[in-house]
Amino acid sequence: MAKLKTKFACTDCGTESPKWLGKCPGCGAWNTMVEEKETVVKTQGLGSSLIQTKEKPLSIIHIDSGQEPRIETTLQELNRVLGGGVVPGSLILVGGDPGIGKSTLLLQTSHALAVKGLTVLYISGEESVKQTRLRADRLGALTDTLYVLCETNMEQINDAIESVQPDFLVIDSIQTVYEPSVASAPGSVSQVRECTAHFMRVAKVRGIATVLVGHVTKEGAIAGPRLLEHMVDCVLYFEGERHHSYRLLRAVKNRFGSTNEIGIFEMGESGLREVSNPSELFLSERPLGVSGSTVVASMEGTRPVLVELQALVATTNFPSPRRMSTGIDHNRLSLIIAVLEKRMGMFLQTQDAYLNVAGGVKLDEPAVDLAVAVCIASSFRDAPTRPFDVVFGEIGLTGEVRAVSRAEQRVKEAQKLGFKRIIMPEKSLKGWSPPSGIEIIGVETVSQALAAALG
């Protein structure tokens, strides 16, 4: 006979404990242990609990190594992030802030696949079918092969999958689905783990491309145990400022493609619209002839993107100056300021420093170091940079400028947008010939870069 057992599980990592703990012993997070009820069923023996399978081990040389077939959608930005399209039988997890546009993106994707003749099942646990129909009317996503269901019970969802036999399945969201045999509440660690494992088996056995929508915590990470991201094939984050219309789709895990690609969309009245030239978008409102503004060439996966950096250096009356950054790691900003103080003799100890990446983009590659240094020095000296300069390069602690990858692609993107001069590492000029019509200045130290940009 089954009996109930109380346990405590961490909402961040899934670590279980028989009693409540203030600090999770697994991940070290505070106040994340929540109470759950677990149904314990006695089994007759070890053999009855083992999963029987008909698969037999194969020699690795006898396994077909052909590429995975892909289903391309009409959203090219989504295809880029996924690595070329949706892989049948894959399990995709999409996370993002509330109201950012996750349901809109997936409903547009479902419509695009349904138009191509695929059968799509969209299961919503948070909206009724009428609400989904109203969104579909606004987006123009009305197709005969797009089926909608409002359900959270796993048994009913299984019946719907058996009835529709879809090629593409959307679960919005995984935190609302529950397994009746698990005593915990929907959204708990046990329920999320069990339901995700079930959809993973459905995707792999039936070959159904499945997308799970995941809620995020206040820190921006997907809610639930970290095991959730390990179980799926692809993890996508839908990012963007709520007060801006631009959205970024970023892959942080992808078993079928690169994890550095981003897709850029613009939210409008009729849904999400693709942005084919993000560099032109990010530079559309750039002021000219002002200090503290620099354009950097950054790589987002295989795509070069030109972004504007803005810096403001102001005198402070407090003994500890502030260092604030948006879009760039705060520790990286402090490191570059320390290099400018030590190697360039800039007295920034009494100056507040604020850095912003225009457009809400997050830059995490070291190639933006040189542009950050030029931007801060420009604001500190109140000396504007040239309006048609592009700067990129990595900075070392001794003040040297190190080479970066894919310099040729960055230069070509800058030339395409009409920039006249590039300040880049000297060592990155080897192995290729710069295009005609654009001036290339190779630098080896930060002092040479500042002399070229602000001289």
DSSP sequence for 347-389: --TTEEEEEEETTS----SGGGHHHHHHHHHHHHHT-PPPTTE
Highest mean pLDDT among 151-155, 186-190, 220-224: 151-155
Is 3's pLDDT higher than 60?
A: no
- Is 60 among the domain residues? no
What is the pLDDT, as a whole number, of residue 350?
Answer: 92
| Whether residue 61 has pLDDT greater than 70 | yes
Which residues contribute to the annotated binding site for ATP? 96-103
**Residue that terminates a domain, selected from 255, 276, 297:** 276
Question: Structure tokens of 194?
Answer: 């069990």
Q: Quick one: 239 and 337 in the same domain?
A: no
The helix (run of H) or strand (run of E) holding residue 301 is none
Q: Which two tokens stand for residue 386?
A: 């040239």
Is position 306 within any domain? yes
Is the model's pLDDT at 43 over the cut of 50? no
pLDDT computed for residue 54 by the predictor: 65
- At 48 the pLDDT is 35
Taking 80 as the threshold, does the pLDDT of residue 421 lie above it? yes
Average pLDDT over residues 241-257: 83
Q: Which residue matches tokens 């005609």?
A: 436
**Is there a single domain that holds both residue 189 and residue 296?**
no
Lowest mean pLDDT segment, chosen from 64-73, 109-118, 382-391? 64-73
Would residue 55 count as lying in a domain? no
Say yes or no: 272 and 293 in one domain: no
Cis peptide before 128 (omega within 30 of 0): no
Q: Which of 276, 297, 317 is the last residue of a domain?
A: 276
Average pLDDT of 446-454? 95
Q: Is the pLDDT of residue 15 over 50?
A: yes
pLDDT at 50: 34
- Higher pLDDT: 275 or 39? It is 275
* CATH code, domain carrying 175: 3.40.50.300
Q: Alpha-carbon distance 359 to 285, whole Å?
A: 10
Q: Is the pLDDT of residue 228 over 90?
A: no
Last residue of one domain, picked from the residues 237, 254, 276:
276
* Residues 6 or more apart whose Cβ sits within 8 Å of residue 264: 77, 246, 247, 248, 249, 274, 275, 278, 281
pLDDT grade, residue 38 (50/70/90)?
Answer: low
Query: What is the arithmetic mean of pLDDT over 268-297?
Result: 87
Range of the domain at 210: 70-276
Whether pLDDT at 388 is above 70: yes
Instruction: Report if residue 343 sits inside a domain.
Output: yes
Task: Please give the annotated binding residues, written as ranges.
Answer: 96-103
Q: Does residue 196 share a domain with residue 127?
A: yes
Residues with Cβ within 8 Å of residue 156, at least 6 apart in sequence: none
- What's the pLDDT score for residue 420? 92
pLDDT for residue 183: 79
Please name the residue that has the structure tokens 């799509």.
Answer: 120
Over range 305-322, report the average pLDDT: 93
Distances (CA, A) of 325 to 106, 330, 355, 358, 363: 32, 6, 5, 11, 11
What integer pLDDT is reported at residue 243 of this predicted model?
67
The domain tally of the chain equals 3
Rounded-to-integer distance, Cα 196 and Cα 201, Å: 9
pLDDT at 46: 34
Whether the pLDDT of residue 117 is over 60: the answer is yes
10, burial (CB in 10 Å: exposed 0-12, middle 13-18, buried 19+): buried
Q: Are strands 323-326 and 351-357 parallel, antiparallel or unpaired?
A: parallel
Inside any domain, residue 61: no
Residues 183 and 263 in one domain: yes
Question: Where is pLDDT greater, at 42 or 280?
Answer: 280
Average pLDDT over residues 402-426: 93
- Per-residue three-class SS string for 233-267: CEEEEEECCCCCCEEEEEEEEECCCCCCCEEEEEE
Residue 63 covered by a domain: no
| pLDDT of 405 over the 60 cut | yes
* 371 and 254 together in one domain: no
What's residue 181's pLDDT?
Answer: 86
Q: Is residue 49 part of a domain?
A: no
Q: Which residue has the higher pLDDT, 332 or 29?
A: 332
Q: Are both 270 and 309 inside the same structural domain?
A: no
Domain match, 90 and 215 both: yes
Can you tell me the mean pLDDT for 181-201? 87
361 and 375, same domain (yes or no): yes
**Residue 292 belongs to domain with CATH number:** 3.30.230.10
- Using a cut of 0.85, tell me whether the model's pTM lies above it: no
Q: Are residues 308 and 255 in the same domain?
A: no
> Above pLDDT 70, what percent of the chain?
94
Flag the least confident range among 18-22, 88-92, 151-155, 399-403.
18-22
Q: How far is residue 73's CA from residue 113's CA, in Å, rounded to a whole number?
A: 6
User: What is the percent of the chain with per-residue pLDDT over 90, rounded to a whole number?
Assistant: 58
Report, as an integer, the average pLDDT of 74-99. Answer: 91
Residue 1 has pLDDT above 50, yes or no: no
Q: Are residues 257 and 404 in the same domain?
A: no
At residue 34, the pLDDT reads 83
**Mean per-residue pLDDT for 347-362?**
90
pLDDT of residue 11: 78
Q: How far apart are CA 240 and CA 408, in angstroms?
A: 29
User: Hey, what amino acid is at 289?
Assistant: G
Whether 181 and 239 map to the same domain: the answer is: yes
pLDDT band at 361 (very low <50, low <70, confident <90, very high): confident
Residue 360 has pLDDT above 50, yes or no: yes
Kindly state the greatest CA–CA separation across the chain. 83
| Residue 406, in any domain of the structure | yes
Alpha-carbon distances, residue 65 vs 54, 61, 285 (angstroms): 22, 9, 48
Please report which confidence band the pLDDT of residue 39 belongs to, taking 50, 70 and 90 as the band edges.
Answer: low
